[in-house]
Amino acid sequence: MRIGGFGGADGLADVIRQEQFTHVVDATHPFATEISRNALAACAKMNTPLVALERRPWEKTSGDHWIEVADIAAAVAVLPIEAARVFLGIGRQHIAPFAARPQHAYTLRFIDAAEGLLPLPDADLIVSRGPFTLAGELEMMRLRRIEWIVARNSGGEGARAKIDAARELRLPVVMIRRPQLPERLRVESAAEAMQWLGHRADLGA
């Protein structure tokens, strides 16, 4: 286990060489573009096979009111001018730009308590770790009278409940699309990744 960065693509290439890794599975968050680009570059440099384990994105269904945008800046721009109660389901690293809309009351949810002051003038923090349930998300949104939701299209089941709750409550969701990455081999499950590595999926190893 290694905690921390590698020092860019060249640093990761050095680790691949030193540790004699024969394969790389990029199982990072779908929005962690820097490490994914570095992994691609490092594996290309070392001629090491790479596969991306990438969750299927959420797809808009009947009853969803999505406003799809390209990035955080666009998400800030489409929020209403009039004051609203907004749930930011985007993680702690991306909340500062929303200070440009100080009229809103924001609800944030982090895995750990915030360090220092939050960059938003009117923000309430929930410290909680998923996966979250539909019932729990409905209760949270009703209790806090949420009117808008901002989310990144991370996919998967662990954070999906807020999207299902928004549909049930008929709330608008500002959905940030996944960033574009260079073409690479992709799989959508750990079992597929294990098969790619040459292991039998039914053994789980």
By C-alpha distance, which of 174, 182, 202 is closest to 36? 182
Per DSSP, helices labelled H in the chain are 8-19, 33-46, 72-78, 134-143, 161-169, 190-196
Gyration radius of the chain over CA positions: 19
Expressed in percent and rounded to 5, the helix, strand and coil fractions of the chain are: 35, 20, 45
Per-residue pLDDT at 93: 83
Three-class SS of residue 56?
A: coil
CATH topology of domain 65-176: Rossmann fold (3.40.50)
Q: Over 60: is that where the pLDDT of 70 sits? A: yes
Per-residue pLDDT at 80: 96
Domains in the chain: boundaries: 8-55+182-203, 65-176
* pTM to 2 decimal places: 0.84
Per the model's pLDDT, the better-predicted residue between 174 and 92 turns out to be 174
